């Protein structure tokens, strides 16, 4: 076999002319990014001009590269520092998401269930009202001015009294804490009643459900133990809630059921039908999610799993179709893309706990089990249910809020997810938009740090960022950017709108409560 000599030409670098940036390649273009999320795509000669210090005032790229802080001459360092401070302002705010597992009872056998679940007669896995009070007292010590209390399980509606108590007690307590307090429920809808639904609507508890696609897909992924049609129940209640909000005069853009879908191998063959279903129901956002390495998904992977490459093909097919629907006037966005686009196109970071640096486990969220145990995140309590307590932070009976958020495990997760200090991440062009998942790394490689470039999340995030920037780069008439910018708009709801007079808060010590999890993740919580 003959040997060939290869000579690599080293570009001239005028380091004194350059500000700090990262770079990489997307197709035939060079992408450059900086810490505040500014980016630009250059062709090869333009990139060489930048490196060589030849971007003078006469150069066609000078104005934009200087304005974005890629050229050292007249660099507005104070302005960049101010913008970075705004991007990272979540760092000093503390957990803004409190996940409460009110019960482990659940009536579904989802093929990918990420959490522990028990049979419907296991009332010993319900949260008592005494424990519920301690959980609320604990999470409301967060210094964050905004707090979303999210109910998960199992199926939270089968422990509805605990849910109601938490909503009522936290609102009573908030008269003194003065936070912007919201409540959200993640439910499979199969045990919903009209009485429950009316209470949720009247008390402004936002509802999120799982909708994995048309009946064939949804019922395959999310088997109902009774053998009933779970799909029909979900569709009924989505329509009921959305119609009820309209009857009460609520803005349907703000008040509606959110829906999540989890992708299995069966979903991949029905990607177009999934999106068409969401559109037909008037759902404005679809959050495409891959399988996570927790719970049942690990044991059923051979039947329902796929490679990162297969997921990215599925995702890009969906996103291309969603873009085409937007061009036709259909209003629908994709959740993960919206998180990236907020970082790419706006001065803010959406503070989505799963895609930020550092990750939100323990610093942006805490999860409380039905028994009062405290975990760094929803994923952490799933790992605990699998028999590994590495990410447990204590118990509401004997662990203060400060002790929980300053726990050595929280610090270790933060260190393992600060992109600026991680090999392969620190100099990656996608760092301003990305976020690593140490708990995923731990489950896949038994290492918080892992080999990030070989993880499914790295492949997913790089693929999404490449797709979005490629679309923006080829956007000659600005139509794609206009669509993408609509996806970044966040209009806050008024948590007091239409709120009924708060009922008296019960003393949990006087109520006996026996007191479920479907494998959901939370939607982005925007400030």
Q: Read off the tokens for 304.
A: 């329902």
Residue the block writes with tokens 């029905």: 270
Q: Read off the tokens for 245.
A: 């909000």
DSSP 8-state assignment for residue 305: -
Can you tell me the distance from the alpha carbon of 346 to that of 344, in angstroms, rounded to the nearest whole number?
Answer: 6
Cβ burial of 156 (10 Å; 0-12, 13-18, 19+) is buried
Query: Which alpha helices (H) appear in 386-525, and where do they start and end?
Result: 401-405, 408-415, 438-445, 456-473, 479-487
Q: Read off the tokens for 133.
A: 């009070």
Can you tell me the distance from the alpha carbon of 408 to that of 139, in angstroms, rounded to the nearest whole number?
Answer: 19
**Which is nearest to 311 in space by CA: 277, 271, 276?**
271
**Which is nearest to 357 in space by CA: 109, 68, 84?**
84
Please state the separation of Cα 153 from the chain's center in Å: 18
Q: Read off the tokens for 223.
A: 């088997």
What's the chain's Rg over C-alpha atoms? 24
Residue the block writes with tokens 């399980």: 153
Domain residue spans of the chain: 15-87, 89-401+506-510
β-strands 205-210, 222-224: how paired? unpaired
β-strands 365-368, 333-334: how paired? unpaired
Q: What are phi and psi of 40, to 5 degrees?
A: -155, 145
Can you tell me the distance from the alpha carbon of 93 to that of 364, in angstroms, rounded to the nearest whole number?
Answer: 8
Q: What are phi and psi of 16, to 5 degrees?
A: -70, -15
Can you tell me the distance from the alpha carbon of 432 to that of 69, in angstroms, rounded to the nearest whole number?
Answer: 14
pLDDT at 92: 87
pLDDT at 505: 41
Contact between residue 252 and residue 245 where contact means Cβ atoms under 8 Å apart: yes
Q: What is the pLDDT along the chain (527 residues), one digit of tens a residue?
A: 445 555 556 678 888 999 999 999 999 999 999 999 999 999 999 999 999 999 999 999 999 999 999 999 999 999 999 999 999 999 989 999 999 999 998 887 777 776 567 777 788 889 999 999 999 999 999 999 999 999 998 899 999 999 999 999 999 999 999 999 999 999 999 999 999 999 999 999 999 999 999 999 988 888 776 656 889 999 999 999 999 999 999 999 889 999 889 999 999 999 999 999 999 999 999 999 998 776 555 567 778 889 999 999 999 999 999 999 999 999 999 999 999 999 999 999 999 999 999 999 999 999 999 999 999 999 999 899 888 999 999 999 999 999 999 999 999 999 999 999 998 999 999 999 999 999 989 988 888 987 777 788 999 999 999 999 999 998 989 999 999 999 999 877 776 666 654 443 433 333 332 222 333 334 433 33
Please determine, looking at this structure, whether the domain spanning 89-401+506-510 carries the CATH number 3.40.50.720: no
Question: Does an H or E element contain 160, and which?
Answer: helix 160-177
- Give the start-end residues of each E strand in 245-332: 258-262, 285-289
* pTM (predicted TM-score): 0.90
């Amino acid at each position: 076999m003959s040997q060939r000599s290869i000579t690599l030409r080293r570009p001239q670098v005028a380091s004194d002319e350059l500000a700090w940036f990262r770079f990489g390649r997307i197709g035939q273009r060079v992408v450059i990014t900086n810490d505040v999320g500014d980016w630009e795509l250059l062709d090869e000669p333009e990139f060489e001009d930048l490196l060589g210090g030849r971007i003078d005032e006469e150069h066609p790229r000078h104005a934009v590269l200087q304005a974005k802080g890629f050229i050292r001459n007249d660099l507005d360092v104070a302005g960049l520092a101010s913008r970075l401070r705004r991007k990272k302002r979540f760092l000093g705010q503390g957990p803004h998401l409190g996940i409460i597992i009110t019960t482990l009872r659940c009536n579904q056998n989802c093929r990918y269930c990420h959490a522990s679940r028990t049979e419907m007669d296991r009332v010993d896995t319900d949260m008592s009202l005494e424990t519920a009070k301690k959980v609320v007292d604990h999470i409301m010590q967060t210094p964050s001015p905004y707090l979303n209390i999210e109910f998960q399980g199992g199926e939270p509606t089968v422990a509805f009294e605990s849910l109601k108590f938490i909503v009522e007690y936290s609102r009573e307590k908030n008269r003194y804490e003065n936070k912007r307090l919201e409540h959200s429920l993640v439910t499979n809808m199969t045990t919903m009643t009209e009485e429950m639904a009316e209470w949720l609507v009247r008390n402004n508890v936002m509802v999120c459900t799982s909708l994995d696609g048309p009946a064939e897909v949804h019922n395959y992924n999310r088997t109902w133990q009774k053998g009933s049609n779970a799909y029909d129940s979900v569709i009924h209640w989505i329509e009921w809630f959305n119609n009820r909000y309209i009857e009460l005069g609520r803005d349907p853009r703000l008040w509606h059921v959110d829906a999540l879908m989890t992708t299995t191998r069966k979903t991949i063959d029905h990607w177009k039908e999934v999106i068409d279903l969401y559109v037909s129901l008037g759902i404005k956002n679809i959050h495409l999610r891959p399988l996570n390495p927790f719970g049942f998904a690990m044991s059923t992977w051979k039947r329902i799993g796929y490679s990162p490459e297969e997921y990215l093909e599925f995702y890009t097919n969906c996103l291309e179709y969603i873009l085409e629907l937007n061009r036709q006037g259909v209003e629908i966005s994709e959740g993960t893309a919206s998180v990236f686009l907020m970082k790419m196109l706006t001065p803010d970071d959406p503070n989505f706990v799963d895609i930020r640096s550092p990750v939100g486990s323990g610093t942006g969220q805490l999860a409380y089990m039905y028994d009062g145990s405290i975990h760094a995140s929803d994923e952490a309590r799933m790992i605990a249910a699998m028999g590994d307590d590495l990410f447990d932070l204590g118990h509401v009976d004997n662990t203060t809020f400060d002790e929980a958020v300053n726990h050595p495990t929280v610090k270790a997760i933060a260190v393992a997810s600060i992109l600026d200090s991680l090999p392969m991440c620190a100099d990656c062009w996608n760092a301003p938009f990305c976020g690593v998942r140490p708990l995923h790394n731990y489950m896949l490689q038994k290492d918080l740090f892992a080999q990030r470039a070989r993880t499914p999340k790295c492949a997913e995030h790089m693929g999404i960022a490449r797709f979005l920037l490629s679309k923006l780069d080829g956007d000659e008439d600005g139509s794609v950017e206009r669509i993408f910018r609509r996806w970044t708009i966040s209009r806050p709801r008024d948590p007091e709108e239409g709120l009924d007079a708060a009922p008296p808060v019960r003393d949990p010590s006087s109520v006996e409560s026996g007191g479920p999890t479907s494998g959901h993740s939370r939607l982005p919580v925007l400030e």
